Amino acid sequence: MSNPSSTSSGSSGSTSFDLPRFLADQRNIINKSLAGIIEREFDDSRLCRAMSYSLMAPGKRLRPILCLAAAETVECSDIRSDIGFPPFHDAMVTAACAIEMVHTYSLIHDDLPAMDNDELRRGQPTCHVKFDEATAILAGDALLTLAFETLSSQRVLAAVVQPDILLQIIGILSRAAGYKGMIEGQVQDMIAEGKTLDLESLKRMHSLKTGALISASITIGALLGGATPDQIRHLDTYARHIGLAFQVADDILNVEGDPDKMGKSVRTDRDRNKSTFPGIIGLEPSKRFADELINNALQAIKVFGTKADALSALASYVISRKR
Q: Which residue, among 236, 174, 170, has the nearest Cα to 207 in the 3D structure?
A: 236
pLDDT higher than threshold 50 for residue 82: no
Residue 142 within any structural domain of the chain: yes
When pLDDT is averaged across residues 304-322 and rounded to a whole number, the result is 93
What pLDDT is stored for residue 122 in this prediction? Answer: 87
Residue 107 within any structural domain of the chain: yes
pLDDT > 90: what percent of the chain? 74
Residue 193 within any structural domain of the chain: yes
What is the spatial distance between Cα 233 and Cα 131, in angstroms, rounded to a whole number?
43
β-sheet bridge partners, residue 7: 18
Would you place residue 30 in the very low, low, confident or very high pLDDT band (cuts 50, 70, 90)? very high
What pLDDT is stored for residue 76 in this prediction? Answer: 64
Measured in degrees and rounded to the nearest 5, phi and psi for residue 282 equal: 100, 160
pLDDT tens string 162-194: 899 999 999 999 999 999 999 999 999 989 888
Residue 253 within any structural domain of the chain: yes
Q: Which amino acid is at 73?
A: T
> Which residues, including other chains, have CB under 8 Å from residue 310's CB and lie 6 or more apart?
17, 22, 69, 72, 73
Q: What is the CATH number of the domain that holds 50?
A: 1.10.600.10
User: Could you give the C-alpha distances from 95 to 121, 174, 270, in angstroms and in order?
Assistant: 24, 13, 36
Residue 9 within any structural domain of the chain: no
- With vertex at residue 50, the alpha carbon angle to CA 112 and CA 118, rounded to the nearest 5 degrees, is 25
When pLDDT is averaged across residues 130-149 and rounded to a whole number, the result is 98
Q: How many domains does the chain have?
A: 1
What is the spatial distance between Cα 62 and Cα 39, in angstroms, rounded to a whole number?
23
**Domain coverage including residue 256:** 17-320
Residue 7 within any structural domain of the chain: no
Residue 1 within any structural domain of the chain: no
Residue 300 within any structural domain of the chain: yes
pLDDT > 70: what percent of the chain? 89
